[in-house]
Amino acid sequence: MEKLEWSALEYEERERGTDWFWALGVVVVASSVAAIIYSNYFFAALLFISGVLLGFFAIKKPDRISYELNERGLKIGTQLYFYENIKSFWVQIDKAGESKLKPTLFIKSERAFMPIISIPIEDVMALDIHSIMLSKNITEEEMKEHPSHKIMESLGF
């Protein structure tokens, strides 16, 4: 089996204007003030810290992550997912006439927290990835992005 390597950004970078940051500030301040009015100081502090962290991560540039399909499994950065620990996969590609789907590899792992991993791929790699996964006897199961992901995208996250 040949080794298949590619890299992609950690997440899709979005340009956020000053209006987005003003809206974030207004929501954080208003909700923190409401928590203080109801004498819930810990929750007010938690809301404030969460808002500051959200603003920080909105400014942060995404890292480039390397991916590799090799003899042993799927390597994401430095983490290796052995083929034996991958329950199923799905290669999502945009077929003619469908909506603008981003080429994505979905992996369902044995992890308890975030068991489904979505990995951006290139269109030209889809068939190679599909054949490698099937050759390793991994079940093909249709998967798609969680609806909350689409909601977060529409809110600018």
Quick one: DSSP state of residue 155?
Answer: T
Domain encompassing residue 87: 4-10+63-154
Q: Give 94-132 pLDDT, tens digit per residue.
A: 776 566 778 889 989 887 777 888 888 888 888 888 888
**Count of structural domains, the chain:** 2
Residue 47 shares a structural domain with residue 68: no
pTM: 0.72
73 & 99 share domain: yes
What pLDDT sits at residue 46? 97
Same domain? 136 vs 82: yes
* pLDDT on residue 98: 60
Tracing tokens 């938690």 back to the chain, one arrives at 46
* Inter-residue contact 28 to 48 (CB < 8 Å): yes
Same domain? For 81 and 38 the reply is no
